[in-house]
Structure 1
């Protein structure tokens, strides 16, 4: 059934699934927005060490993603392939998240080793639950338009979680920490973990996976997975594009707190900026969804890149000294980020059918695991590169930065993202699914299944 056209989910079915992204992004947005800052300005790690920890954990996480995808492909239970991981893995993710924000009474190498170990434990727990969840989006529906709507809803829930994290993390840490920022961040993490642990079981109870068919048999080994994926030009073009964009654009997202604290002298302004940027998501994503339906997913990708390059050019040529102008710039770039995010998560399921059409093998979990692999490697490399470059330009936490350091920080925020967006556009020139080609492939796959069944019936 997974390869043939399936009944539409409808709004209720999509909401029951996509609400999971609110829970996952309470974790993910916290890690993305605050963890590097927590390492440097709360725990007290050097920026290079903090970036290295983030990079190692991200790459380790990336390596285990395809393996988790292969495990999920082989899972068979009365609840389906994926839903049991979501239900039974949820408590472990919450506990691991608490360890991530716990500062032990250690210093030096011991402290760095603890933070790395806690980060890796969290990544393992998160992967076990998140890979089955993301793979379900390809299994629940094969309708490309519905997948686009589902991706939009997922991003809306993700941005709502990002708004929650951005608005409340620092106030919660200040209110609950008793003057100790580390204690405050841990308390905030406990609240987010509790909320996420209540939301994720909703996905288990609100969704149903299609019945297994003979065509759903997973490859027997990793070599068969590779043979099923190597000719998937749609997948490789998408992964090349997203990796280029993420590696270079990570510097921009992680610069917000630093820019407001050190360039503008308004640390609280960083929280306000993050909150406003996150709050814009539910307004921006529906616009991108409409544009995607109008001009197609691939052209929407190019439109998002063009928008971002214009914003980076303006920021590089303008001496931004006010909070309002800085927020306006980050809002502008949020439009690009959400456009590319919608493109990635709506295009990735379509590459599953393209690969099946080319090779006869359907490897949805492994495709999503591979997608997460490249995405997390890119995020890890981007964070590691940003942390290393901060050290190179002379950044030192909680001190007044030199004019040269501030000037170089602005270069990091513009030159790297511009390079990444350009490469992301070049990669997607080679993406083969244009116009109505995906719908034609889905129809052809349905016919392939229908013909043997009809032959068996005539026999």
Structure 2
């Protein structure tokens, strides 16, 4: 199978996953508050519980995937079977059950947790797949770039299609239809990922089970040893937490910004298109820069640019529709670097951990990283739910001047703080291309699957 087809197969898998991820991250809280009538605090709390549940499942998904042996490999069976289940769970989460009060909150939580359960058992094996189909750090950067291009394409599709389709049918039903269409499209992407990628032939056998209690202690010890063994992994986990808490705040608040600050709710699809379009155009630049200048240097350059854009948006973004659109494009272009870079850094930590601990665990590494990302997303959802009432926000009503300023501050100053803290963490990142090459040489260049 050609390298080009392998990259495309891996990338289209991320396209499918991001149809779900963006529906959750961009629209779900807005759907809860403005279409189901759920209080922001309750919406944020359910988002936190579901996200933590999702995050807790990630290490389990990683452990099971690492132990799986089949003719399809370790990871692709989960994508093949779990993809359709995930596709069915998405429209359920965007359904109005016709309930109120505690019953509505219970339905929202249950449907969200079902969606996140399916997502965990597809996303972790998918993410770990990259460490098995590519061992060279530059190829991993290219693979991460391809993944981000497909993921950004999915973001554009979902950002434009979901609110546009939803607007065609009054009430919550339009959102259910839109989510169902995204789910059906994702099934095609998952199928292509399974067919167009190949995992290395297995040369070992799955570990022998010694009882669930013994295995639980063993697996928790393996996670702890992996984190202790790789200082680079600790830093990557930290920046994943920071960027996920801080930067997701921007995308979550865009619908509120256009509806309540600019009074241009119908232009929200255009705004989301500009944000993701800027990301799509800039991704090749960040891949090239990471290969040419190194991943840490590329991170610092992107951070300075992103910080300037968030500050500019805070000062000028609400002055006019045109300025808001310009800053949306620039924010998308600069912040796209972070996902490209931490997903290309993460596979490199697998070998660093293997050298120190003597064991290799791709799925565990990615499971831990996505555990951090999803926990951060839950914290982000809770913060949105708490901050909106704190600034005096009331859904579907004109907002006070304080609420308008609060919306702008939430979506810009929190991401700005996250970018600055991320720079401080990345200053000590030492797993350069040369350092990684030396590690690979010490463990024999090519490690066993």
Structure 1 counterpart of 2:420:
422
Call closer, same or farther: CA 1:233–1:111 in 2, change over 3 Å.
same
Single out whichever of 111-120 and 209-218 deviates more from structure 2: 209-218
**1:400-439 matches, cutoff 5 A:** 400-439=398-437
Single out whichever of 333-342 and 372-381 deviates more from structure 2: 333-342
Cα-to-partner distance string for 1:413-447 (whole Å, 9 max, x where unaligned): 22211211111111112222024111221222126
**1:112-151 matches, cutoff 5 A:** 112-151=105-144
Determine the C-alpha separation between the residues in 1 that align with 2:89 and 2:318: 39
**1:308-457 matches, cutoff 5 A:** 308-318=306-316, 320-446=318-444
Cα-to-partner distance string for 1:124-159 (whole Å, 9 max, x where unaligned): 011111111110000111111111011011111111
Call closer, same or farther: CA 1:424–1:114 in 2, change over 3 Å.
same
Structure 1 counterpart of 2:66:
73
Provide the TM-score with structure 2 as the length reference.
Answer: 0.94
Q: 1:104 aligns with which of 87, 97, 110?
A: 97
Determine the C-alpha separation between the residues in 1 that align with 2:349 and 2:447: 19
Task: In structure 1, list runs of 5 or more residues that go unmatched.
Answer: 1-7, 451-459
CA contact (8 A) 1:159 1:278 kept: yes
Provide the TM-score with structure 1 as the length reference.
Answer: 0.92
Structure 1 counterpart of 2:192:
202
Q: 1:36 aligns with which of 6, 20, 29?
A: 29
CA root-mean-square deviation: 1.9
CA contact (8 A) 1:316 1:414 kept: yes
Displacement of 1:216: 8.4
Determine the C-alpha separation between the residues in 1 that align with 2:301 and 2:440: 26
Determine the C-alpha separation between the residues in 2 that align with 1:194 and 1:447: 42
Q: 1:303 aligns with which of 301, 304, 310?
A: 301
Cα-to-partner distance string for 1:157-200 (whole Å, 9 max, x where unaligned): 1111111111111221122x2x3x21111011111111111221
Structure 1 counterpart of 2:156:
163
CA contact (8 A) 2:278 2:331 kept: no
Structure 1 counterpart of 2:202:
212
CA contact (8 A) 1:269 1:323 kept: no
CA contact (8 A) 2:65 2:125 kept: yes
Task: In structure 2, list runs of 5 or more residues that go unmatched.
Answer: 209-214
Cα-to-partner distance string for 1:54-99 (whole Å, 9 max, x where unaligned): 1111111011101110111111112111111111112211111121
Determine the C-alpha separation between the residues in 2 that align with 1:13 and 1:104: 42
Determine the C-alpha separation between the residues in 1 that align with 2:60 and 2:326: 41
CA contact (8 A) 2:62 2:124 kept: yes
Q: 1:246 aligns with which of 234, 244, 247?
A: 244
Structure 1 counterpart of 2:211:
none
Determine the C-alpha separation between the residues in 2 that align with 1:9 and 1:381: 41
Q: 2:180 aligns with which of 190, 194, 210?
A: 190
Determine the C-alpha separation between the residues in 2 that align with 1:276 and 1:84: 36
CA contact (8 A) 1:304 1:335 kept: no
Call closer, same or farther: CA 1:88–1:345 in 2, change over 3 Å.
same
Determine the C-alpha separation between the residues in 1 that align with 2:176 and 2:447: 53
Figure out how many residues of one structure are paired with residues of the other and give that number: 440
CA contact (8 A) 2:67 2:206 kept: no
Call closer, same or farther: CA 1:324–1:105 in 2, change over 3 Å.
same
